[in-house]
A and B are shown apart, each in its own frame.
Chain A
């Protein structure tokens, strides 16, 4: 809304001279945002951003009333003195409202013998300052009065209205209208329209029709000033993709009283600018007048809500300046709400009015006095934070990626047709072609992070994200948090002179990261099992099992996917469900006494067939050795001349300890003999 200061100054009697420059700061403190200020000549034009609850601010009078209230001035509304002539308007034209629910009031005024022509310079200039183009003296008046009062008006050429009147009704199937902008539009059935005896002549409150517009030869004018239902106007405007000065104002809700006064004001100006005679009376259809509203205000409640003591005379003064009429004693006021403030419905609305004009900046800053429990973090967020910290400590960098994707991205990372992760929930109204569905996994976004970085020459990328994924399950739509990990490039920086396998990220680096996280969380009883996923290297993939089921997968990204994304190297990815991890995490681990007896270390080289997993050997050893075996760790894996073909030698370090006494060398040797025997029997192991 563009408001020239010169227009405000015309409407307000200031108590002291005002500097318009200062109002750039003062408008916002009233709730009127200043988008920009234009200095044209000696005038200041403010582009004001008005809130949707204040339709009155879409007229200069409304803004002027606010300025007057804030600076203690007096509002001077333009005097409307109509010189009316016979015959009465109702003998010449008629108005019928078939939809009183959509049109609470329709006021028509008839002016005859007009001379349509250009507007005077002052009118053209003022319209231009407000961003409107001059059309002719009659149309300009409707726009001028709309800018002044906020009430949209329309002018019909009465001689072109079939039957000499208008009816407010809903559009029927198949009706069309050529609007003022020259476009022929198919009207949505049920849209609020203005029609004559034969056809639709205007889109109610939005745009007029070309057939009945004011033209140079127009002699008789029917002025329309109405209250249309905001929702009806909004729906039709949106359906047709039109937004006009009129529709914007109707959508915010009008004022039936203003509809009447604006019609008179427009008739007066038409007569003044285009000559002619205003016919006696108005065509006023207002079957169900709205009762005046009264709202109670308790000064004690005002104090209670705002936290500040405002003297009662000041409260009363503020309300009166805004056009409210408070009556009553010091404990309870009954406040009559003026028709232009239909947004004020209950006590809180009045409290805001008082606070606004008295000054938000004068309300002190206090801290709540309520006694409450100390702050806390919900348990799921505590667990999430611990997982995040563990990942950071494991050397991974946090990334954030968009929740929206295109299903093609799921296919591109190798998730096959028919896989549950391909069943992404679609947006009903996506904005762009690449953001049409909700992600089911973090994999596509994380692979994209790897690609973005590799393409830009950032070769070492170690990232994680804790994010939400959305899945379509039999139980409906599910939203859950997962941890995604992606690594590529060197796992060790500054690895000069080291062999590549010591430097480059491998499956075991990824596994180490996952282990570090599980250890940081004190998650007991997890297990990594060799299980593939279509998007992973078929022989370098595993599932993380927790309790009775898998809670995630880890592995090397399938070489085909790496190639498709130009990664130029092996990438390692994982995704873990956050909630099962968080549930299994021990937040308060319990102390176990440190051992006081010495440990005995032995190395054992076990030759087993290729298909026997290291975990199988460790498991068999643990089972056979019993609780005195404290640790059992593979430290070397060897295949070569000294090992039979199809076999490998696994070197393990075993640490034995009995917490109650010192084990003798002979005892440990005995255990080892037993171990060897069991490994021979169970795994067909040989010993070197």
Chain B
């Protein structure tokens, strides 16, 4: 009997080792351990043995059955793991192929600058407003203390539509509209398009953007103007930004100043500012004895060129996606 058990054991383990699929292993299980299996038949034959041999034969056969069951389970697991791995291997992807994606939306660099500027002034308590681009001489000039025949009104510089209407040449016209409609105190800023009859070249376009703001109150001082614009410069150009105020002349401010920012080793002129001329306040129905006001107007396009290292203003308007996607 021993020889027989040993022979079955060797053969079964050998065949198990040779089995390469789960199905083959299952077939072996049936052949040896199934109801009609070889080991099952041997176990049944134990009853016909001499009583002295029964116990030994029984335990040898039980040990064989247990061993085969274990081996089969182990083998099955190994084979299943291998099969799963093979299946997954076939699903391998080339991770270096391009990803699938819809286009990425990007802000225009000027659009982004405009939003930044609006946020900076809003954080300083300014109300952000909008105004018309189609203006009248009344708001674009007269109420800004720019009388008829002032050089700034040269038809040479402005696009006219008829005798009275033109495309605004600065956003300060919006200040005038707001002041006329409200009562002090006010702290308002606007950013938008302005128009001048400039021939297109690398630094000029007939259409450009300007940020314009003002503040009216009982104690608004020139020093506040300096403080607010210095803060604006630091927010937009970085904490080290220095601002310079140089005397200048605008018909609608007195005193007037030109503003420059120190950036990458040189002074960059960004705009003009000053205290609103008392006549401008009077024309807006504000008592200049009681109230004082500061106002400023800064370019958006040319400072953005310097800030982003763009050397030709036409790139902003050409809209080449290779340019737009850089920001």
Q: Which A residues are within 8 Å of any B CB, using their own CB? A: 28-31, 33, 51-54, 230-231, 234-235, 251, 304-308, 346, 348-349, 351-352, 355-356, 360-361, 363-370, 372-378, 380-381, 385, 388, 391-404, 425-432, 435, 438, 449, 452-453, 456, 458, 460-463, 468, 470, 477, 479, 491-496, 498
Other-chain residue from B105, B108, B162 in contact with A400 (beta carbon distance below 8 A): B108
Contact sample, A vs B, 14 pairs, CB 8 Å cutoff:
A51-B249, A365-B223, A375-B127, A376-B128, A394-B105, A399-B319, A403-B133, A425-B161, A431-B159, A431-B198, A438-B161, A479-B132, A492-B101, A493-B103
* Bound-state Cα–Cα, A629 to B104, Å: 35
Q: A491–B103 contact, CB under 8 A?
A: yes
Interface assignment of B2: CB less than 8 Å from any CB of chain A: no
What is the CB-to-nearest-CB distance from B236 to chain A, in angstroms, rounded to a whole number? Answer: 16
Inter-chain contacts of A396 with B (CB < 8 A): 103, 105
What distance in Å separates the Cβ of B173 from its nearest Cβ neighbour in chain A? Answer: 13
Measured CB to CB, the nearest residue on chain A to B128 is: A377
Least CB distance from B205 to A in Å reads: 8
- Determine if A367 and B221 form an interchain contact, defined as CB atoms under 8 angstroms apart: no
In the complex, what residue of chain A is closest to B187 when comparing beta carbons? A372
On chain B, the residues within 8 Å of A366 by CB distance are: 221, 223-224, 226-227
- Tell me the minimal C-beta distance from B13 to chain A in angstroms: 48
Q: Which of A52, A370, A430 contacts B218 (CB 8 A)?
A: A370
Collect the chain B residues with CB atoms within 8 Å of residue A429's CB.
Answer: 155, 159-160, 197
B324→A397 contact, CB < 8 A:
yes
Cross-chain contact B226 with A365 (CB below 8 angstroms): yes
Please measure, in the bound complex, the distance between the C-alpha atom of A427 and the C-alpha atom of B167, giving whole angstroms.
9
* Complex interface: chain A residues within 8 A of B18 (CB): none
A361 touches B245 (CB 8 A): yes
Q: How far is the CB of A623 from chain B (nearest CB, A)?
A: 35
Of A251, A365, A401, A435, which contacts B227 at CB under 8 A?
A365
Q: Known: A31-B248, A402-B207. Contact between A304 and B292, CB under 8 A?
A: yes
Whether B79 sits at the interface, judged by CB under 8 Å, is no
B143 within 8 A of A: no
- On whether the beta carbons of B319 and A305 are closer than 8 Å, the reply is no
Extra inter-chain contacts (10) besides given A355-B255, A370-B185, CB under 8 Å: A54-B249, A230-B149, A352-B247, A368-B227, A375-B126, A404-B159, A428-B161, A435-B206, A458-B321, A493-B102
CA distance A376 to B118 in the complex (A): 10
Q: Is the interface of B mostly helix, strand, loop or mixed?
A: mixed
Q: A458 touches which one: B155, B223, B322 (CB < 8 A)?
A: B322
- Beta-carbon contact of A381 and B223 below 8 Å: no
Q: Which residues of B contact A468 (CB under 8 A)?
A: 133, 193
Docked pose: A5 CA to B225 CA in angstroms: 34
Q: Do residues B105 and A393 form an inter-chain contact, with CB atoms below 8 A?
A: yes
| Number of B interface residues in the complex (CB < 8 A) | 86
By a CB distance below 8 angstroms, the chain B residues around A453 are: 319-321
Choose among B187, B207, B324 the residue that contacts A399 (Cβ–Cβ < 8 A): B324
Kindly provide the distance from the CB of B86 to the nearest chain A CB, expressed in whole angstroms.
23
Q: How far is the CA of A77 from the CA of B176 in the complex (A)?
A: 44
Contact assessment for A364 and B223 in the assembled complex, using a CB-CB cutoff below 8 Å: yes
Q: By the criterion CB–CB under 8 Å, are A367 and B134 in contact? A: no
- Scan residues 272-306 of chain B and give those whose CB is less than 8 A from a CB of chain A: 275, 277-278, 292
B248: chain A residues within 8 A (beta carbon)? 31, 51
B99 at the interface (CB under 8 A from A): yes
Q: Give the residues in chain B near A491, CB-CB below 8 Å.
A: 102-103
B43 at the A interface (CB under 8 A)? no
Please, how many angstroms separate the alpha-carbon atoms of A577 and B310 in the complex?
32
* Contact A404–B206 (Cβ < 8 Å): yes
Give a binary string over B192-232; 1 marks a CB under 8 Å from any A CB, 0 the rest: 01010111100001110000000101111111101110110
A230 to chain B, nearest CB (A): 8
Closest B residue to A503 by beta carbon equals B100
CA gap between A363 and B207 in the complex, in Å = 35
B20 interface contact, C-beta 8 A: no
In the complex, which residues of chain A have a beta carbon less than 8 angstroms from the beta carbon of B223? 306-308, 363-366
Tell yes or no: B312 within 8 A of A by CB. no
* Chain A residues closer than 8 Å to B88, beta-carbon distance: none
Shortest Cβ gap from A385 to chain B (Å): 7
A450, closest chain B residue (CB): B319
Q: Which of B84-114 contact A (CB under 8 A)?
A: 97-108, 110-111
Chain A residues near B228 (CB, 8 Å)? 367-368
Q: Which 5 A-B pairs have the closest CB atoms?
A: A307-B223, A307-B221, A31-B247, A51-B249, A494-B98
Residues on the B chain within 8 Å of A363, using CB: 222-223, 226, 245
Binding site for A on B (CB under 8 A): 97-108, 110-111, 115, 118, 121-130, 132-134, 149, 151, 155, 159-162, 165, 167, 185, 187, 193, 195, 197-200, 205-207, 215, 217-224, 226-228, 230-231, 244-249, 254-257, 275, 277-278, 292, 316-322, 324-325
In the assembled complex, the CB of A388 is this many whole angstroms from the nearest CB of chain B, namely: 7
Please, which residues of chain B bring their CB within 8 A of the CB of A397? 103, 105-106, 108, 321, 324-325
Q: Is the CB of B224 within 8 A of A368?
A: yes
Given A304-B221, A366-B223, A431-B197: A400 and B247 within 8 A (CB)? no
A400: chain B residues at CB < 8 Å are 108, 110-111, 316-317, 319
Residues of chain B with a CB closer than 8 A to A365's CB: 223, 226-227, 230
CA of A453 to CA of B260, assembled, Å: 36
Q: How far is the CB of B212 from chain A (nearest CB, A)?
A: 15
| Across-interface contacts of A428 in B (CB, < 8 A) | 159-162
With both chains docked as a complex, state the minimum distance between the C-beta of A125 and any C-beta of chain B, in angstroms: 32
Report how far A426 CA is from B162 CA in the complex, Å. Answer: 9
**Residues on B with beta carbons closer than 8 Å to the beta carbon of A251:** 151
Residue of A nearest to B243 (CB): A365
Q: Which residues of chain B have C-beta atoms less than 8 A from A377's C-beta? A: 118, 122, 127-128
User: Residue of B at shortest CB range from A374?
Assistant: B125
* CA distance in complex: A169, B118 (Å): 55
A497: min CB distance to chain B, Å: 9
Closest A residue to B257 by CB, please name it. A360
A428→B159 CA distance, assembly (Å): 7
A361 to B222 CA separation, bound complex (whole angstroms): 11
Q: Cβ of A495: which chain B residues have Cβ within 8 Å of it?
A: 100
Which A residues are CB-close (under 8 A) to B167? 403, 427, 438
Max chain B C-beta neighbours (<10 A), residue from A234, A375, A461: A375
A304 touches B321 (CB 8 A): no
Contact of B108 among A399, A430, A456 (CB under 8 A): A399
- The smallest C-beta distance from B66 to any residue of chain A, in angstroms, reads 49
**Complex interface: chain A residues within 8 A of B221 (CB):** 304-307, 366
- A356 in contact with B230 (CB, 8 Å): no
| In contact, B219 and A370 (Cβ under 8 angstroms) | yes
The closest CB in chain A to the CB of B123 belongs to A375
Interface pair A461/B224, CB less than 8 Å apart: no
Contacts of A367 in B (CB 8 A): 224, 227-228, 231
Question: How many angstroms between the C-alpha atoms of A461 and B323 in the bound complex?
Answer: 12
**In the bound complex, how far is the Cα of B110 from the Cα of A448, in angstroms?**
19
Chain B: which residue is nearest A394 at the CB level? B105
Instruction: Collect the chain B residues with CB atoms within 8 Å of residue A369's CB.
Output: 219, 224
Q: How far is it, in angstroms, between the C-alpha of A306 and the C-alpha of B226 when the chains are bound?
A: 10
A349 contacts B254, C-beta separation under 8 Å: yes
Query: Does A29 contact B247, Cβ atoms closer than 8 Å?
Result: yes
Contact A378 B127 (CB under 8 A): yes
Query: How far apart are the CA atoms of A288 and B162 in the complex, in Å?
Result: 38
Q: Are B129 and A452 in contact (CB under 8 A)?
A: no
Minimum CB–CB distance for A503 against chain B, Å: 9
Which of A402, A426, A456, A460 gathers the greatest number of chain B CB atoms within 10 Å? A402
**In contact, A479 and B101 (Cβ under 8 angstroms):** no
| Residues from chain B with Cβ under 8 Å of A395 in the complex | 102-105
Q: How far is the CA of A428 from the CA of B195 in the complex (A)?
A: 14
Q: Which of A234, A370, A395 has the most CB of B within 10 A?
A: A370
Q: Which residue of B lies closest to A54 (CB)?
A: B249
Whole-angstrom distance between the Cβ of A85 and the nearest chain B Cβ: 43
**Contact in complex: A31, B249 (CB < 8 Å):** yes
